[in-house]
Structures are given as structure tokens and as C-alpha cells.
Structure 1
Amino acid sequence: RGIDKTVQALIEELEKKARPVKGGSDIKAVATISAGNDELVGTMIADAIDKVGPDGVLSIESSSSFETTVEVEEGMEIDRGYISPQFVTNPEKLLVEFENARVLITDQKITAIKDIIPILEKTTQLRAPLLIIAEDVTGEALATLVVNKLRGVLNVVAVKAPGFGERRKAMLQDIAILTGAEYQALDMGLLVENTTIDQLGIARKVTISKDSTTLIADAASKDELQARISQLKKELFETDSVYDSEKLAERIAKLSGGVAVIKVGAATETELEDRKLRIEDAKNATFAAIEEGIVPGGGATLVHLSTVIPAIKEKLEDADERLGADIVQKALVAPAALIAQNAGIEGEVVVEKIMFSEWEIGYNAMTDTYENLLEAGVIDPAKVTRCALQNAASVAGMVLTTQAIVVDKPKPKAPAAAPPQGLMNAGIEGEVVVEKIMFSEWEIGYNAMTDTYENLLEAGVIDPAKVTRCALQNAASVAGMVLTTQAIVVDKPKPKAPAAAPPQGLMV
């Protein structure tokens, strides 16, 4: 309880001290730090948010080239997620991800599977994923969709329509125009069971979480979308209702803001995944900063918060609770001390100096100076710091109240087999060969087949330039990954079982 009370008081102090994000420089600084001090990523995130606004949507995709670019495409996000988690296609991120999906939009409640069987058959024949946006999908229809999705027969997902009443119908019309679909409205006599494949819309990319759906439209819908936005702006100008004005402005923002698509390029698949994860981290940190503000990074905020704990302890009457406050105080200074130690500086000295400095002042390990970290761009989102405090307190509480932990007993790994004898090198002195090639013409090299130095192009000892280029890029990519990796997860070696004794009587 002492840990929880102390952390709650620290969060209140953090909220008072957090500073709102001011412009693109703050956004770039947050994104750069979160991406492992990658300024290119920071610049791209800042550029993307500048294009779609702080309430806009950012999507991350793989690029077909080595370059990473930012493009703004027609699209929108709605505040409804998948109806069932069984529709998930990316279990690691708990997302449904479709490309070139057909979109069925209706304000009807779908309960019978027979109503949508014709559409399911058509989309299956086309091998196209299907997104169903309806008032609801329940009963037999939902059960059948889930079962066939799990069996791999259907590639489908169902999402509840956003909004309520007349606003729901208007938002469904917006989505229909965005995707080029024909809105199947019950009051117009357009029933789901009569829907044809031509009445479905197309979304180039669909990303659905449990809470939201992001649609990136086909490029062909741009003209219709602009006409819809113009119509909504006219309605906004003519309305006198404050509520209607807010909702119309929200719809205009969703349609006109678009989606900033960051297309990530890399030389290897490993580097691509690493870069996408870094950009994802930077994106999340940036939106967290926009939401709750920013604080000094480098562990300085936690050190400054630790100076508040003595005042918090005075309000705690129980001795055990005060002990909990002491535990939190010791934990708060650990990150800054560790950063200093990694930079080759005495951690305790750095912590003490930060404690007696102003709120914004901290230790910048990159420049080995004490300075205003907010001005230097060493920034953390206040939300990240708050969540770290809350999560650490929660885990610590769990550990302190746990009586036992069940673990798997490690099994010893078999020793590696000795390499076969006789696989020795050819015996040529490599350094001598390299030095001789260095001082020769471009075409001259060592031909190991004939043991001579000669024109390798004429001798037929040739490599494709593309192979050499890719080898250089891949080597640089792997080396960069290794140099920036802090830890590697490996299987603990398991000892090999002793060999069985030979059968009696079969002795040599």
C-alpha cells in the first residue's frame, strides 16, 4: 500500500510538471529518442504529423524499395474494432490486416448466414478479403463466420457501425463514399441478401484493432471524397446547432485529414522488421506526448520526483507504508545512475547533481553535459513515465505478495559435435594476397584455381555487381543490428543424456 500511495502522489506531481508539446521540434525530439536516437525517423514522424495533424492517423507499411518515405493517402479511422478476436490475422499485435479488401456497408443487423452467403461465395472466388460494417453481426451469422475463418475457408472480419441514430447513417455514407461502396440502407429498401459484388467497396489497406478501424482507400475515390467534404462544409456553414457543428467538423476532419503512410524500406528482412518496430515505438511515443505532454528524459524526471518522496512519507502513518515509499525512492534514481554508468560516469555523483538542479536540468549522456534537457531535445512523453511508474508498482506488488513461482527445470544441452578432421585451409597467406591485389589494377586479382595473379575478367573469374552491392548492404545492416542490440535471448543449453551401455556379449 505504501508503494501504491507513493506512486499515486508522484503521478499527481508529474501531471503538474508536464509541459504541453510545442510544435514540430518537440515532436521530432520525442520521436528521435524513442527510435534509438535515429534522427531520420524523428524527422519522418514530425513530417507525417505535420501533414495529417495531431488527431490524424499514421500507418506503417513495408516499402518495395530501400528508401523510407512518407505519403498522405485518402483514408479515415473509425472508433470501432472487430466484433470477435477470432478474426485476428496478426496474433502478435492482435490486429486484423487486409490488403485490397472488399467492403460491405449496411445499417442492418445480420443474424442469419443465408443473407450474406452469395457475397461470401463471390469474394472467396475472387480471393479477396471481406470487411463487413453493419449495425451488428450476431448469432448464427457470427458463429459461421468465425468457424470458417478459423478453418481458413473465409478471410473475413465484422465491425459494428460507428455512431448512433442519424449520425450513424451519415458516417456509414462517409465510409461508403471513401471506399466506393453502395450503402445498403434498410429505409431505402436495399437489403443485404440482395447485395451484389459490384455494390461492395474496395479498401487498399485495412487495419483493425479491438478498438478502432483504419481504412486506406483506393486512389480512384479521390474525386467523390472531395465532393463529399465540400458538401459537409456547406452543411457546417448553414447549421446553427452547436452539437451538429461539432459532429460535422469531426466528420470533415476524418475525411479530409487522410492517413499518413510511412513506407519503410531496408536492405534485409531483419533490418526491415527492426526499423518498422522503431518507427512504431516512435509513433506511439509521439502521440503519447501530444496527449499528456512532455518531461525531461534521461531519467532526470524520476530523480526530480524522488525529491518529493520525503514530503509524501510524512503523510504516511504506518511504518510499513513508509518503507514502501523508501523502496520507490531508491528505484527512481536507478535509471539515471545506470545511464551515467554506461557513459563511464559515476552514477551516484550524477544523481546527486540532478537532485539539486532545476526541474528541466539533467545529464545528457550524448554530450557529457548537464543542461536543460527540454531545450536539448532529450525528452520523454509524460504518459510513458506515468505508465512506467504504475506498471512497476503493479509488478512489484505482485512479486511482494507472491509466495511461490512455478518454473520449468532447465535441461542440459548436448555438447556440440567436434568438427570433422581434415577440413584445413588451402595454406595460402591471405594478407600477402590482399596486399598484392591492393596495389594492382582494378581487373587484377588472385585466381585460386590457377594460383596466379591475372586479369580476372579475362580469366572468367567474375561476380555480378548487384550481388556485391547487396552483400555490402546486408553486411552493414546485420552489423548495425548487432552493434545496437542490448541483449540476445537464447535457449539455455540442455545436457545430453549419457549414451546407453552396449549390449552384453558384444565386446570387441
Structure 2
Amino acid sequence: MAKEVIQSKDARIQMAQGIDLLARAVSVTFGPAGPSVIIQHRTAGIAPIISRDGVTVANAISLEDPIVDLGARMLRDVANSVSREAGDGTTGSIVLAHRMAKEALKSIAAGADPMHIKKGMDKACLLVVENLKAMAQDGTTEAVMNQIGTISSREKEVGELIAGAVKRLGNNCILNIEMGDGREDVLEVIEGIQYNQGYASPSLVTDHARHVAELENPLILFYDEEIHNIDQLIPAFEIAGEEGRPLLVVCEGLIDAALSATVMNHGRGVLKVCAIKPPGYGDHRPARLMDLAMLTGGKVFLKANGEDPENVTLEDMGQATKAIIKEEISTIIGGIGDKTAIAERIVGLEKEAAYYRGRKPGDGSPTGNLAEAEDLEERIANLSGAIGVIHVGGCFDIEIKERMVRVENAWNSVSAAIEEGVVPGGGAALFKSIKVLEGLAGANPDQDRGIAVMREALAAPLRLIASNAGLSADVVQHAMSLQDDPFAVFDASTETYGNAYDKGVLDATKVIRLALEKSVGVIGTMLTSETVITAIRDTEAWDSFDPQWAADTREDPRAP
């Protein structure tokens, strides 16, 4: 395929167009006064998506020109990276990245060296991150969690519900967000397990907007090795089809034909199916797999015993109320395992953990003893743990789905606050960090310009919140610069200034830190790229393509 090569200035100008287009679409949602964005669903006849979530809006934008879209793609990557690690702060990261790109490109157009601009930005970023960490305060109190949840979801009731759930279940609790069947939000506490393994293929998701596979009342197949042959899965497929239930495959991996057949069955709607790896790593994984099977009332097929999933029966399969599979996290809720057997296993694990904890110095490796004890205690927590489920209410599906994203963002913000504390919200923490850059000098004027780019970018979130509230950004910025309180904020909902705790305007430190770091990283990469190589698309194959005819006949006229 022929390639197009675009050099330095032309490439940056076109990428800047994409950055600007995407940022302007997303930035309108920023702050408490930011409105929603309506996104047409890709399937005709299905209701549009209404969202205030930055990453959702960003992922909906795909531009025709490949170079312009490359610039937009960079901002999408920033938002998706922040979303994966923090779950919130996606709009803020786009606002920061947009401002950095705009200011840096001005300097490059004036003759500055992109490499030195990037070095200046990196130097300033390190100093700001240190300042944010020093500024952070405890985020584990119920009042703070309430405020964080409220500002992220824009609903006081949601903040109270999440804070109450954490108080009830503990700071390390697991919360899942689901669609409710009433107008009110409801918290339900049920038994379940969550661990860090995601779906085998993105093609297995059921909710493309949230990148999640949700299986209601699934059957679960357990195998301790990789599955290569589709014949090993056909009996499980047939059982699930006869029962009219989705299938979850827990194994070391689906390889080649097994994965292709699974994706094809799922994609064609023959069977709703998803595949994940077992919990744990290394030598501890088989025991974790056994625990998971016990929780769901299933049997693990062990290759070492000559067992094969090809011989599975309905009685061998685990069952649960629901399975929620994300890119990196799997949650299985409401397993039907024998409560008595689970309790007996927990007692045995507790005795074993106490043995390792009680070993005297010199009796085995101290590090090994500690690792074994911690692994056993984690298994105990998984077997006895409870999961909170928030059923999001509303009057109709479009409203509920929009609220679900905001409630999920609120929970992610609260989790981040528990982890790294809180700082003044509403862009105040970044704006106050401008002071730490006073006196910071680079090795040359171009690095100084990179530091100046960071100064401009740090004020951007505060200015945009003011603009979206219909106020003068210059006036708000000047008023904030006169505030002596280190935790002073601008509350756009009341158009007043005051202490962050009094106003309830707080942000999770982790969210702000990641938004800043990811923005600097991606924009720095763009600035230091001198050449873009892209494929020249061949559209001749589409000239005789009739999508309606193809849909009716299920044939492609382009095929030989």
C-alpha cells in the first residue's frame, strides 16, 4: 500500500487542527456549569448517547483526514490513559493537553527547538507534581468522600450514597455501578470477588460505550491450561445455548481457533460469551482458581489429572448472579457455592496464615513467610468479601446511562482520594502550583519557553470553568491570585470564593497528577515528532459497494 510522508511544519499544523477540534467538543462539558454532548449511536434506530464524560465524547470523534485525526487521537490517548488509571479527570487532561499544544506550537513557529521545549515542560511537571503531593490532605473521611463524590457526579445524593457505602464496607471496598429499575439510586451489598484480569479480546464486550462485558446469570467453565482446540469449547457452548444463558470461560487463555470461534459466536449473537484468565500469578494461581470455582459451585478441569473441558456437564459449571468484565478487572457477583464448604476453607486458610505469621526467625525465609501469609490473607478476603452494587435510577434509559457514567466517575474519584488524598478543586490546585515555577530556569531560552508553556497550561482549567459558567476568565483568575488561603477555590455553581472544604470543591490528588503527567507526555511526543507517515487509502473497492444489498445477501461484492 502506498504511503504519504508529511514533514515537520505541515504535519504539526494538521495534527494541531485535530487537537483543536476534539478539545473544543470536549471542553464544553468541563466544570459544574458545563452542558452535555449528544452523540449519535452508530446503529440506526437506537437512541443517542448523552454524556458529560470527556473520554466518552473523545472516543466518539473520528475525523476523515488521517493526519488531522492523528492529532485528535493523541488527545483520545491522553483521556483513555487517565481513565484506565484513575477513572476520572479525562476532560481536565484534554484541557491541559490542548493548552500545552497550543502554546508550544506558537513557540516552535517562532523558531524554538521542540526538544528543549519538551525538556522545559518535563522539568516544570516534576516540580508541580511534587507540589501537589505536598499540598494533598487526607481523603478518607466521610465528609471529604461525600464532597469528592458530589463534585464529580454533580449530585449531592450520589456523593452521600458513595460515602455511606465506603463507611459501611471499608476503604478497600469494591463498588459496581449498574442500571436500576426505579427512579431512586439504591445500594445493595452482596457476596462476590474482584481481581485484576480482563477480557481475552475487546470483541467480547457487550457495552461498547463503557468497554465492559456484562453477563447476567452466567454459566462458568474452569480449566487450568490454555485452550487451543474449539472442540474443547463446543460442549460448554451447547450447554449454555440449551440453558439460554451466557458463558464465562476462565482459563489460561484462548489461542488461535478457540479465540476466533468464541469471538465469532459472540459477534453473531449466537451466544453471549466472554473469556478471562484466573486470578493470581505463578504458583499461587491454581489455588486461586480452586477458590473461584468453590465460590461459584463449579469444578476445575485439571490437565494434570487427565481432565478435559470437552467432557463438561452442567453440574461441572459454576454459576453466578452476574459477571462484569472490564479491560483489566473482572468481578463475579453472587456465586452459588456451598456456604458451609466455603466457611470450612476460610477456617483452614486462617490456620495456615497464622502458622506462617508465627514462624520464628531463622525458621524459613522471613520474606517467604510474609509473602505466603499475605497471599493466604488475600485468599481469605476474596472468599469472605462483600461487594457493593449501586443501582442507578432514572426515568428512562438514556438518562440512566448518562447518570451511570457520572456515578462511576464519582466512585473512581473517591477511590483515588482514598489512595493519594485531596487538593483544592475547580482548577485551583494547578493554578496555585504556578507559584512553584517562579524562579525555575532552564538551561537555555527554549527550555525557559517550555516552563512558560506549563505556566499557561496550569491556569487553563480554572479559566475554562469560569468561561463555561458565563464569567470572565481574566476576572476569576485575578480574584484567585488575591486569595491568601492555600485551600481557596472558586465555586462556579455559586460564583463565589472560599475554602475548599467549606465550598465542597475538592479534587483527588491522583486524578490531577495523572492528568498533568499524561498530558505532558503525549504533547511532548507530538512536539518532538518531525515526520508523519500514513497510508494512502484506496477507495476504488467501495465504488460498487451497496450496504443494503450486502446486508440483505450477507455477501461482499468486493470479495473475489
Q: Structures share a fold, TM > 0.5?
A: yes
Q: Distance in 2 between matches of 1:188 and 1:395?
A: 50
Q: 2:433 aligns with which of 305, 311, 315?
A: 305
Q: Which amino acid aligns with 1:329?
A: R
Matching residue of 2:68: none
Q: Distance in 2 between matches of 1:117 and 1:389?
A: 48
Matching residue of 1:14: 132
Say which SS state the counterpart of residue 311 (structure 1) adopts: coil
Are residues 1:271 and 2:389 paired? no
What displacement does 1:230 show? 3.4
Are residues 1:252 and 2:391 paired? no
User: Does the aligned pair in 1 maintain the 2:262–2:273 contact within 8 Å?
Assistant: yes
Please list the CA deviations of residues 303-330 of structure 1 after superposition, one character each: whole Å capped at 9, or x if unmatched: 2101112222x2x022122122223212
Change (3 A) 1:198 1:284: same
Paired-residue identity, %: 36
What displacement does 1:274 show? 2.0
Q: Distance in 1 between matches of 2:470 and 2:205?
A: 46
User: Does the aligned pair in 1 maintain the 2:295–2:336 contact within 8 Å?
Assistant: no
Q: Which amino acid aligns with 1:3?
A: M
Change (3 A) 1:198 1:70: same
What displacement does 1:366 show? 4.5
Unaligned runs of 5+ in 1: 407-508
Q: Which amino acid aligns with 1:171?
A: R
Matching residue of 2:332: 215
Q: 1:384 aligns with which of 500, 511, 535?
A: 511
Are residues 1:23 and 2:141 paired? yes
Q: Which amino acid aligns with 2:489?
A: G
Matching residue of 1:294: 422
Are residues 1:359 and 2:486 paired? yes
Q: Distance in 2 between matches of 1:403 and 1:330?
A: 24
Q: Distance in 1 between matches of 2:304 and 2:168?
A: 38
Q: 1:120 aligns with which of 237, 258, 268?
A: 237
285-294 or 108-117, which moves further after superposition? 108-117
Q: Distance in 2 between matches of 1:117 and 1:343?
A: 58
Per the normalisation by structure 2, the TM-score is 0.66
User: Does the aligned pair in 2 maintain the 1:80–1:212 contact within 8 Å?
Assistant: yes
What displacement does 1:373 show? 0.9
Matching residue of 1:105: 222
What displacement does 1:347 show? 4.4
**Structural mapping, 1:136-285, within 5 Å:** 136-218=253-335, 222=339, 224-240=341-357, 241-285=369-413
Q: Distance in 2 between matches of 1:150 and 1:18?
A: 46
Q: Which amino acid aligns with 2:316?
A: Q
What displacement does 1:116 show? 2.6
Change (3 A) 1:342 1:257: same
Q: Distance in 2 between matches of 1:13 and 1:176?
A: 47
What displacement does 1:263 show? 0.8
What displacement does 1:72 show? 0.9
What displacement does 1:176 show? 1.0
User: Does the aligned pair in 2 maintain the 1:53–1:257 contact within 8 Å?
Assistant: no
Matching residue of 1:446: none
Change (3 A) 1:30 1:226: farther
Please list the CA deviations of residues 427-461 of structure 1 after superposition, one character each: whole Å capped at 9, or x if unmatched: xxxxxxxxxxxxxxxxxxxxxxxxxxxxxxxxxxx
User: Does the aligned pair in 2 maintain the 1:29–1:42 contact within 8 Å?
Assistant: yes
Please list the CA deviations of residues 466-502 of structure 1 after superposition, one character each: whole Å capped at 9, or x if unmatched: xxxxxxxxxxxxxxxxxxxxxxxxxxxxxxxxxxxxx
User: Does the aligned pair in 2 maintain the 1:67–1:265 contact within 8 Å?
Assistant: yes
User: Does the aligned pair in 2 maintain the 1:295–1:374 contact within 8 Å?
Assistant: no
Please list the CA deviations of residues 10-41 of structure 1 after superposition, one character each: whole Å capped at 9, or x if unmatched: 122222222231322111111111011x1110
Change (3 A) 1:86 1:270: closer
Q: 1:393 aligns with which of 520, 523, 526?
A: 520
Matching residue of 1:5: 123
Q: Which amino acid aligns with 2:223?
A: T
Query: RMSD over aligned Cα, in angstroms?
Result: 2.7
Q: Which amino acid aligns with 1:149?
A: H
Please list the CA deviations of residues 307-359 of structure 1 after superposition, one character each: whole Å capped at 9, or x if unmatched: 112222x2x02212212222321232233344456667664454345335242
What displacement does 1:141 show? 2.2
Matching residue of 1:322: 448
Change (3 A) 1:292 1:234: same
Unaligned runs of 5+ in 2: 1-117, 358-368, 535-560
236-245 or 183-192, which moves further after superposition? 183-192
Q: Distance in 2 between matches of 1:370 and 1:66?
A: 34
What displacement does 1:204 show? 1.3
Q: Which amino acid aligns with 2:259?
A: L
Matching residue of 1:90: 207
Matching residue of 2:552: none
Q: Distance in 1 between matches of 2:480 and 2:203?
A: 50
Change (3 A) 1:295 1:189: same
User: Does the aligned pair in 2 maintain the 1:32–1:39 contact within 8 Å?
Assistant: yes
Q: Which amino acid aligns with 1:198?
A: E
What displacement does 1:195 show? 1.7
Q: 2:152 aligns with which of 19, 26, 34?
A: 34
Q: 2:186 aligns with which of 66, 69, 82?
A: 69
Q: Distance in 2 between matches of 1:396 and 1:194?
A: 54
Change (3 A) 1:110 1:330: closer
Per the normalisation by structure 1, the TM-score is 0.72
User: Does the aligned pair in 1 maintain the 2:296–2:337 contact within 8 Å?
Assistant: no
Change (3 A) 1:295 1:103: same
Say which SS state the counterpart of residue 293 (structure 2) adopts: helix
User: Does the aligned pair in 2 maintain the 1:88–1:96 contact within 8 Å?
Assistant: yes
Change (3 A) 1:188 1:51: farther
Matching residue of 2:83: none
Instruction: Give the total of aligned pairs.
Output: 403
Say which SS state the counterpart of residue 239 (structure 1) adopts: helix
Q: Which amino acid aligns with 2:237?
A: L
What displacement does 1:295 show? 0.4
Matching residue of 2:163: 46
User: Does the aligned pair in 1 maintain the 2:140–2:421 contact within 8 Å?
Assistant: no
Matching residue of 1:439: none
What displacement does 1:76 show? 0.6
What displacement does 1:94 show? 2.1
Q: Distance in 1 between matches of 2:356 and 2:526?
A: 58
Change (3 A) 1:341 1:135: closer
